[in-house]
Amino acid sequence: MTQSVKGMRDLWGTELRHFQFVERMCYQIMGAHGYQEIRTPIVESTDLFSRSMGSTTDIINKEMYTFKDRSDRSLTLRPENTASVVRAIIQNKLLEGNDPLHLFYIGPMFRYERMQSGRYRQFWQIGAESIGVASPESEVENLVLLFDFLGSLGLTDLSLSINSVGFPDERASFYTAFKSFFKDREASFCPDCHRRIVDNPLRVLDCKVASCQTALTGHPEILNFLSSESRSHHEKFQKCLHGSNISFSTNPKMVRGLDYYTRTTFEVISPDLGAQCALLGGGRYDRLIQDLGGPATPAFGWALGLDRLVSLLIKKNISLPSKPRILLIPLGESMLEYALQLVRPLWTTGHSIELETRGVALKKSLATANRKGHSHAFILGEGEKAKNIITVKFLMTGEQEEWPLGEITSRLTKL
């Protein structure tokens, strides 16, 4: 039997219902904040990602699904979506009016990485991008959106960790100090960090190897090497967070895993995720749009792994809001046509009613309803038809009621 590709999985049942709940709340909260959805292809030119994310990142060096098509073009399954969104903005000339853009997306990404809890090689992301405004206030607006969204899912015990990495041309003095620090303890760092210290020293701070994190104790902090303008931006950002009642802590190792970040970077931390406690992250990327061929445009955004988020919701036993799920059981083939006439107006008003069409015995149909997680069974036989009622069985308690057919809609609403 053919199996699914390692790291890629099927979604169904309870987990899929959690996915759908998150997606519904995403559309609701994003719309309330004035963000519009954008959808990009899952396959892009490889050059898009190599130019945007940086040649020193692990994603570029180890994790991309890259292949040649029949025209010998190098294509890649998108490993993240910010670069694709930027490409779409430039290609479709969405910046010509000079108005800010507020965009969000939901979709699958692909990375060939080591699998762990809540992480897969095909994974789903939700992201939001605020494009065209350089102010700290625009960053905080985006984070208020984020925490409104997470709060709508029942997640309230989260913390925000922030840092600033400035602009590339501000980092020279930091690199000098950091390389000197590294040299004094280079034997304690992993081979990847020995490569990173040459290619991009910031990547050393992002290393996940425990011995490297220990060796980083007391390292020079990039905040102490920023320009006065970047320091002022960071101070105002913190002031705006306080004003919006978003608590935070500063983490001098917070550099994120992509090279396009400038100034603000952040992660949202959950105490329920164990050692890999970061639920999501993001930051400012003021030079990416210009680097990819567009006009100089400031931007800020974040991306959230939907698989990891759903695993957290399930772990915390956060219940889903739900309508009654009903199995309508006609007793015998003669009642099936009558049941179809009865259920159609209920379907059009949005009620979740599955119609039993097999013509099997009532006991077997009730067993099916219980296995599939239905909350109620509607039973319709000749006796019910004659009395113009329907028998309603509450599957959690076993109780039964008789409802007049004309009251089904109002009673369902009360349920």
Q: Where are the domains of the chain?
A: 13-167+227-315, 325-414
Q: Are 85 and 101 in contact (CB under 8 A)?
A: no
For the chain, give the mean pLDDT: 91
Res 82 pLDDT > 90: yes
Distance CA 17, CA 395 (A): 20
42-77 tens-digit pLDDT: 999 999 998 887 666 667 777 899 999 999 999 999
What is the end-to-end Cα distance of the chain in Å, rounded?
44
Q: What is the pLDDT of residue 59?
A: 73
Its CATH class, for the domain covering 13-167+227-315, is: alpha beta
Q: What is the pLDDT of residue 54?
A: 65
CB atoms within 10 A of CB 273: 16
Q: Which whole number is the average pLDDT over 26-43?
A: 97
Distance CA 125, CA 278 (A): 14
Residue labelled with tokens 């979506």: 81
H or E stretch at 353 = strand 352-355
Confidence of residue 14 (pLDDT cuts 50, 70, 90): confident
Q: Which whole number is the average pLDDT over 350-356?
A: 92
Res 330 pLDDT > 80: yes
Q: What is the pLDDT of residue 101?
A: 96
Q: What is the pLDDT of residue 57?
A: 67
Q: What is the pLDDT of residue 276?
A: 66
186-204 tens-digit pLDDT: 899 999 899 889 888 888 9
Residue type, 268: V
- 3 state DSSP class of 376: strand
Least confident of 163-167, 221-225, 331-335: 331-335
Q: What is the pLDDT of residue 171?
A: 87
Distance of CA 335 to the CA centre of its chain: 46
CATH 3.40.50.800 fits 325-414, yes or no: yes
pTM for the whole structure: 0.86
Q: What is the pLDDT of residue 87?
A: 97
Res 269 pLDDT > 80: yes
Distance CA 79, CA 109 (A): 5
Vertex 40, ends 36 and 43: CA angle to 5°? 165
Q: What is the pLDDT of residue 50?
A: 87
Q: What is the pLDDT of residue 324?
A: 87
Rg over alpha carbons for the chain, rounded to the nearest Å, is 27
Strands in 297-361 per DSSP E: 299-305, 325-330, 352-355
Distance CA 135, CA 139 (A): 7
Distance CA 250, CA 235 (A): 11
227-246 tens-digit pLDDT: 999 999 999 999 999 999 99
Res 257 pLDDT > 70: no
